[in-house]
Structure 1
Amino acid sequence: MYSLIWRLLPGPTALKVVLALILAVAVFFLLMEVVFPWVSSLMPYTEVSVS
């Protein structure tokens, strides 16, 4: 999977590293802003007592 992404990125190695870092940061922010808050709303955090 990672080798496919590496081959698809254009340019020399230095540019590929920069683009890969930008891609990783974009995925991180997408997860933090969209996916994790959505999953958090589905989690039963209000039921924390042990019966």
Structure 2
Amino acid sequence: MYAWLWRMLPGGLGVRLLTATALVAAASAVLWYFVFPLLEPSVALDEVTVQK
């Protein structure tokens, strides 16, 4: 999959690196700001099972 994506990116090595970095940053931002906040209520991150 990564090889296919790399071949589909336009330009030379520098342009491909910048484009790949921008794609990773965009995917991370979408996950961080939209997907994870939607999933947080259904995932018990604040519930601690270890007691003193």
> Percent identity over the alignment?
34
Offset of 1:34 from its aligned partner?
A: 1.0
- Tell me the distance in 2 between the aligned counterparts of 1:29 and 1:2: 20
TM-score (norm 2): 0.80
Instruction: Specify which structure has the bigger relative contact order, considering alpha-carbon pairs within 8 angstroms and separated by 6 or more residues.
Output: 1
1:44 matched to 2:40: no
Q: Which residue of 2 aligns with 1:22?
A: 22
Report how many residues are paired: 50
Unpaired stretches in structure 2, ≥5 consecutive residues: none
Alignment of 1:6-21 (within 5 A): 6-21=6-21
Amino acid in structure 1 at the alignment position of 2:41: S
Unpaired stretches in structure 1, ≥5 consecutive residues: none
TM-score (norm 1): 0.81
